[in-house]
Chains A and B, each alone.
Chain A
């Protein structure tokens, strides 16, 4: 079945530590996105990539980094510079009809 796989489901970060969230898709989509979701708030765009080896900052990119070396993969690193990383992180992709997003099942990141 085609879809988006995020791992791990739960992740804990220690102070000063960088952590990487995985996102893999087998939908053959060109565009991929990372969103952050906080309770009572909508989704906020962190980074997006419309093609391999290219990506752009979203609305809240500070403290995060990404790479897009393969079409299928778009990992997100939460760096130690992100002082409030506790949130639910969602990866998404879109194909030819770029307006429609397909979402993974998310990663809950918490700080120890």
Chain B
């Protein structure tokens, strides 16, 4: 079955500290992988995506993610978080054919400690 698992429901990090949000997926075909961010009461914004090629992808706001096929993972990282990074983060997996096939994880809420 196709699925996305974000094992951490809530993470708190200190401002300026590094961040890693975990994402594991199960997908039959070659996956297209995404990270979205959602501020409270708002829609989702695409941070970055992986389709093929270099397994380390750069996104907006200083985020990056690494695709590891052997571990079925696509973890999101940031070297130094800012208070404005506090939000909900969603990992998603899909295929090229249609966005209707995108499966979202349950999200990780990030809090920033001053």
Contacts and interface: CB of A to CB of B under 8 A. Distances in A.
Interface of A: 4, 6, 31, 33, 40-43, 45, 48, 50, 56, 58, 90, 92, 94, 98-101, 103-106, 108
Given A31-B100, A99-B102, 6 more contacts: A42-B104, A48-B99, A48-B100, A99-B99, A101-B102, A106-B43
B17 interface: no
B99 A98 contact: yes
Dominant SS at the A interface?
strand
Interface of B: 4, 9, 32, 34, 36, 41-46, 49, 51, 90, 92, 94-100, 102-107
B62 to A, nearest CB: 20
A90 B9 contact: no
Contacts, number: 69
A99 B32 contact: yes
A68 to B, nearest CB: 14
Contact of B41 (A43, A94, A99, A108): A108
